[in-house]
Amino acid sequence: MTEVSVVGGGIGGLTAAQELAECGFDVTVYEANDRFGGKARSMPIDGDPGGLHGEHGFRFFPAFYRHVVDTMERIPDDGGTVADNLVETEATLIASTHRPDRVAETGSPESLREWLEALRPAFAEDLPPEDVRFLLERLAYLLTACEERRENELDDVSWWTFIDAENRSQEFQDRLAFATQSLVALRPEVGSARTIGTIYMQLLFGQLDPSRPTERILNGPTNEAWIDPWVAYLEELGVEFHPATPVHGFEVDRGQVAGLELADGNRVRSDEYVLAVPVEVAPKFVTPELARVAPELRRIDRLETAWMNGIQFYLREDIELTRGHQVYADAPWALTSISQRQFWTGYDLDEHGPEEVEGVLSVIASDWDTPGIVYDKPARRCSRKEVATDIWEQLKRHLDGPETRLTDDLLVDWFLDPALVEVGSDPVEGVENRSPLLINTVGALRNRPPADVGVPNLTIASDYVRTNSDLASMESANEAGRRAANAICRRHGVRETARIWELEEPAVLEPFKRQDRIRYRLGLPHPGAVTQSIRRVTSRLGGRGRA
């Protein structure tokens, strides 16, 4: 049997392991942490596997996630599959400190009226008519642009610039921040128009597709509901796992990987190698010789990361809020949350942790550079306790309006992502992040390597691989794992089995994309470069839709 060593046991590595094991390859996975799942994993907060779990941040699965859900549908769990542990959300709360709360429905619309109501918060509500018109023009530009123009022009301009945010109303700027803030590290000021615009439209298309849930989350902590059953299934397939086994680097000989150097000094030899480590770790594996063979590997260290870390607050009462996400519009640290117990139908909280814990509010902070409201300093300059205190106060200011929903006496305990490690002492100077997140930036597409980089026995399976969604997410990592597995299958004469889905866009747009492809190859601008022209395009789209 062909032996494959997978370096990294996150979503990308586990996906590659599954696809290869199901094809008959002999797979071994090496993971530096003592638990598998990477940034998606959950972990006991006190070391007790049966106790309360904390996470890097809550998981969510929008409708356009196809790869990762397909994988979950193939993992057996209690007579069904892990995909049965996905629960549909119903609404997103947009909480503000200076205006009434707004609620955007996230359930799948079943009528034209429900579709219009679902899209209203994205376009019309509270926005000046001229801003709504302009946004529609920009989206029409994006949707009718050919792929070459998207990659070579729109990837080199920020979403913020593309939508002319600086010259739009404050409501417009806030709304577009809402649209990207709850996603994984999509920042409109630095992210490309290609990626943010594409994903923004995928979210809207998901609301209009009655065949798939708009948005789902897990019915328990990630390892309980997904990762542990996944590892058990892979072990049944013969996959060998080595947790708490860091890999120091590659041995390279004549332009290919000759072996692994483990941190304990041991050496491992295989036929194939899959690199599935995070973006901040990958460059140490790229030797000069590998970079000469595959120049794409040299550009990985040009990709940028940011901080997007989670904290869980354990409460004496179950505060449900909305049955979905909460977005805190005015929070300086760009907070989003989920009140989780209402979804945890597959996890009995009463059997875990202190008896007084009745609810779990899971929060993600995405801005670590803006001063907070308690200590007047950025989160990265705070101690762990100060981070928790400031986030709690930001939540209270948003949620405690006419009705008090959060009070200090509700708080039993909190768990902050252990990747945030304090630096300095007496006093603490702040925290360093040992698990930053890849972020999309202008022009980053050219720095993302393919899964098959051209090294004869090496493939890449992580969220920085070039994928259809071009997003730091479970979906991208899973697609990368599939692409890596397919490359190995091709090398060894095995028929590819891992399916790759393209992002779906309405078929009615194809004629406009073909027309723009001709214009692009002739060196002509997109018709939407001129406002009057884009209005003609949207008019034609509207007329075609009525035909």
**Is the Cβ–Cβ distance between 324 and 89 less than 8 Å?**
yes
* pTM (two decimals): 0.91
Query: Is 68 among the domain residues?
Result: no
Which pair of structure tokens corresponds to residue 223? Answer: 């390892």
Look at residues 414, 435, 456 and tell me which one is the last residue of a structural domain: 435
Is 388 part of a structural domain of the chain?
Answer: yes
Whether pLDDT at 136 is above 90:
no
Query: Of the candidates 326, 383, 317, which has an alpha carbon nearest to the alpha carbon of residue 356?
Result: 317
> Does any domain span residue 369?
yes
Ordered DSSP codes for 78-141: TTEEGGGGEEE--EEEEE-SSS--EEEE-SPP-SHHHHHHHHHHHHTTTS-HHHHHHHHHHHHH
pLDDT for residue 354 is more than 60: yes
Residue 467 within any structural domain of the chain: yes
Asked whether residue 268 falls in the same domain as residue 121, the answer is: no
Domain count, the chain: 3
Q: How big is the chain by its Cα radius of gyration, in Å?
A: 24
Q: Is 311 helix (H, G, I), strand (E, B) or coil?
A: strand
Cβ burial 522-536 (10 Å sphere, 16+ → b, else e): eeeebbbeeeeebbe
pLDDT tens column, 358-401? 999 999 998 899 999 999 999 999 999 999 999 999 999 999 87
Average pLDDT of the chain?
A: 88
Q: What is the pLDDT of residue 532?
A: 41
Looking at residue 530, its pLDDT comes to 58
Whether 255 and 298 share a structural domain: yes
Q: Which helix or strand (DSSP H or E) is residue 28 part of? A: strand 26-30
Q: Measured in Å, how far apart are the chain's first and last C-alpha atoms?
A: 58
Q: Which long-range contacts (CB under 8 A, 24 or more apart) does 509-514 make?
A: 509/143, 509/144, 509/541, 512/143, 512/144, 512/537, 512/540, 512/541, 513/144, 513/145, 513/146, 513/147, 514/146
Yes or no: say if 322 and 90 are a contact pair by the CB < 8 Å rule: yes
Residue 172 DSSP symbol: H
**73 in a domain, yes or no?**
no
Of the listed ranges 19-33, 185-199, 323-337, the one predicted with least confidence: 185-199
Half-sphere exposure at residue 379, Cβ-oriented, CA atoms within 13 angstroms? 30
Residue-wise pLDDT tens digits, 276-330: 999 999 999 999 999 999 999 999 999 999 888 999 999 999 988 888 888 888 8
Q: 70 lies in a domain?
A: no
Domain boundary at 435, 464, 495, which?
435
Residues 128 and 249 in one domain: no
Mean pLDDT, residues 28-49 taken together: 90
Confirm if 380 and 369 have CB atoms less than 8 A apart: yes
**Which CATH number do you get for residue 430?**
3.90.660
C-alpha distances in Å from residue 504, one per residue of 143, 196, 198, 509: 11, 15, 10, 11
Average pLDDT over residues 426-435: 92
Same domain, 220 and 343: yes
Q: Are residues 13 and 125 in the same domain?
A: no
Residue 67 lies in a domain: no
- Residues 170, 279: one domain? no
Measure the CA–CA gap between 295 and 415, rounded to whole angstroms. Answer: 41
Residue 452 DSSP one-character state: B
Show the beta-strand stretches assigned E in 164-226: 215-218
Same domain, 198 and 94: no
Going by their DSSP bridges, the two strands 272-275 and 3-7 should be labelled as: parallel
The last residue of a domain, from among 381, 410, 435? 435
Q: Return d(Cα 14, Cα 234) in angstroms, integer.
A: 8
Structure tokens that stand for 37 in this block: 């799942």
Shared domain check, 335 and 219:
yes
Q: Are residues 220 and 318 in the same domain?
A: yes
Same domain, 98 and 221: yes
Q: Are residues 427 and 522 in the same domain?
A: no
pLDDT for residue 541 is more than 70:
no
Q: Is the pLDDT of residue 98 over 50?
A: yes
SS3 assignment, position 353: coil
| Arithmetic mean of pLDDT, 220-248 | 96
- Domain hosting 364: range is 40-62+86-107+213-226+308-435
Q: Tokens 């298309």 sit at which residue? A: 205
**CATH of residue 464:** 3.50.50.60
Is 121's pLDDT higher than 50? no
User: How many Å apart are CA 132 and CA 138, to the nearest integer?
Assistant: 10
Residues 217 and 354 in one domain: yes
Instruction: Quote the distance between the C-alpha of residue 458 and its chain's center.
Output: 25
* 23-27 contacts at long range (C-beta below 8 A, 24 or more positions apart): 23/485, 23/489, 23/494, 23/497, 24/494, 25/1, 25/272, 25/488, 26/1, 26/2, 26/238, 27/234, 27/238, 27/239, 27/240
The answer as to whether 232 is a domain residue is: no
**pLDDT per position as a tens digit, 162-173:** 988 888 888 788
**CA–CA distance, 188 with 143 (Å, rounded to integer):** 18
Per-residue DSSP letter, 158: B
